[in-house]
Chains A and B, each alone.
Chain A
Amino acid sequence: MGKFGKEFAKGLILSNPVFVLALGLCPALAISTSIDNALGMTLAVLIVLLGSNIIIAAIRGFVPSITRIPIFIVVIATLVTVVNLIFHAYLPDMYESLGIFLPLVVVNCIILGRAEAFASKNPILHSIADALGITVGFMLALLMISFIRQILGTGSLSVFGFDFFTLPVLGEHPIVIFVLPYGAFLIIGLLMALFKRTGVMKGE
């Protein structure tokens, strides 16, 4: 079980997909306007990454290495289609607000990257741990960005319709730029600089 824990912990900080590996930036920036969206995206990535890691680890013995990338992409695309249909049926609001980024999970570099770099070389159990660790790392990054953006951009914190608090001045005069696209670049740039400064993230 030691290896399981190690693979899980690795994805959290040391190889955090967003901040350290700079993978999956498109969804991290685009859907981090609210915590709801961040959690929905995490759910989609969790299902797809877990499924693709399990399937690819299971078939890694029979896949000829020359055609492995197309096979991986078909596996991932099928899983994404499944997730799309599930979201459309059971979480229609989430489906609307994630919009084009739900089908775009297919080309999220995190998923193909883990399939290629990890699941195609490791047994199923370790691949599950890897998928969970990377997803939690992805979730932490998304939550961090969307938390800051939501508080500064709307002046209040609410998750799935449940209001936590509204800030006194910011609630009436929110800094709208933070929920607009440009705010995403600003926040993620400052967060990366902060992580470099504190030494969590290695310099180039």
Chain B
Amino acid sequence: MNELIAIFLGMVLINNFILVRFLGLCPFFGVSKKLGPAISMGVAVTFVMTIASVATWLIRNYILIPFDIEYMNIVIFILVIATLVQIIELFIKKTNIGLYFAFGIYLPLITTNCAVLGITLINATQNYSFGGSVVAALGGGLGFTLVLAMMSGIREKLELANTPKSMRGLPIAFLIAALLGLAFSGFGGMI
């Protein structure tokens, strides 16, 4: 149990996906202009990360390792993720049309989000147990959502600020990310 808590806190705060591991930066800068879409994106990513972790853990431990074809990791994982995203999209469209429209374009975009492939590869290299993989995915997704929401809140305020012309848009967003990262580095000694 302690190990799972350590994995979870490590993923959310210490090795935050965006600020420390640099995974999922494209949606971080692309979708962080408004709070609503940012949270939708975060939830969608967390959801896909968790399901992808479960699926890839099963495939890795019951197919890839017994047959000694672990070097096929990358090809298999990316296919699993692409298929999963398609299935989830169809499933949500059939069962909950409101949620489908809430996710909108973000769901198909997740296939090429490095956070999802990242968590499956991290689970594989760290050799996490089944519970560990799920907790790592949930923690990673939560950390991703947290930083994305913080960033979009700051950027909403920033619209009103008088930023120098050449700093507007992406440059100032990067500087804010640096400051957020510094703040998060305070969690460093926690575990």
Which positions in A face B, CB cutoff 8 Å? Answer: 22-23, 25-27, 29-30, 70, 73-74, 77-78, 80-81, 84-85, 100, 103-104, 106-109, 112, 177, 180-186, 188-190, 192-194, 196-197, 203-204
**Which residue in A30, A77, A190 is a CB contact (below 8 Å) of B78?**
A77
Residues of A close to B170: CB separation below 8 A:
22, 189, 192, 204
CB within 8 Å of A: which B29-78 residues: 29, 71-75, 78
B153 at the interface (CB under 8 A from A): no
* A137 nearest CB across to chain B (Å): 17
8 sample A-B contacts, Cβ–Cβ < 8 Å, listed by A number: A100-B121, A107-B78, A107-B112, A182-B182, A185-B174, A186-B174, A189-B177, A204-B169
B159-191 contacts to A, CB under 8 A, are 164-175, 177-179, 181-182, 185
Shortest CB-to-CB span from B81 to chain A, Å, is 9
B2 at interface (Cβ–Cβ under 8 A)? no
**Do the beta carbons of B26 and A109 come within 8 Å of each other?**
yes
**Closest partner residue, chain B, to A78 (CB atom):** B75
Chain B residues with Cβ below 8 Å from A103 are 73-74, 117, 121
Residues B174 and A22 in contact, CB atoms below 8 Å apart: no
Q: Are A183 and B178 in contact (CB under 8 A)?
A: yes
Chain B 1-32 interface mask (CB, 8 Å, partner A; 1/0): 00000000000000000011111111001000
Q: Are B75 and A81 in contact (CB under 8 A)?
A: yes
Q: Which B residues, 99 to 118, have Cβ-Cβ distances below 8 Å to chain A?
A: 112-114, 117-118
Given contacts A81-B71, A189-B172, 5 further A-B contacts (CB under 8 A): A74-B75, A185-B178, A190-B175, A192-B170, A192-B174
Q: Is the CB of A193 within 8 A of B74?
A: no
Q: Across the interface, do A106 and B74 meet the contact criterion of CB distance under 8 Å?
A: yes
Distance between Cα atoms of A203 and B75 in the complex (Å): 38
Cβ–Cβ < 8 Å partners of A74 in chain B:
75, 79
Q: Which of B22, B82, B172, B185 has the most CB of A within 10 A?
A: B22
Which 5 pairs of residues, A with B, have the shortest CB-CB distance? Answer: A189-B174, A185-B178, A182-B181, A193-B171, A197-B166
Interface flag for B154 (CB, 8 Å) = no
B95 contacts the other chain (CB 8 A):
no
Tell me, yes or no, whether B125 is within 8 Å of chain A by CB.
Answer: yes
A29-B22, A181-B22 as given contacts; A196 in contact with B171, CB under 8 Å:
yes
- How distant is the Cα of A81 from the Cα of B79 in the complex, in angstroms? 13
A169 vs B122: C-alpha distance when bound (angstroms): 39
Q: How far is the CA of A175 from the CA of B122 in the complex (A)?
A: 30
Tell me whether B78 and A180 are in contact (CB under 8 A). Answer: no
A103 to B182, CA, bound (A): 28
Q: In the complex the two chains form, is B172's CB within 8 Å of A104's CB?
A: no
- Residues of chain A within 8 A (CB-CB) of B175 are 185-186, 189-190
A186 and B114 in contact, given A77-B74, A103-B121, A204-B169 (Cβ under 8 angstroms): no
Which residues on B sit within 8 Å (CB–CB) of A108?
Answer: 114
Min CB gap B188→A, angstroms:
10
- On whether A203 and B169 interact (CB within 8 A), knowing A182-B178, A189-B178, the answer reads yes
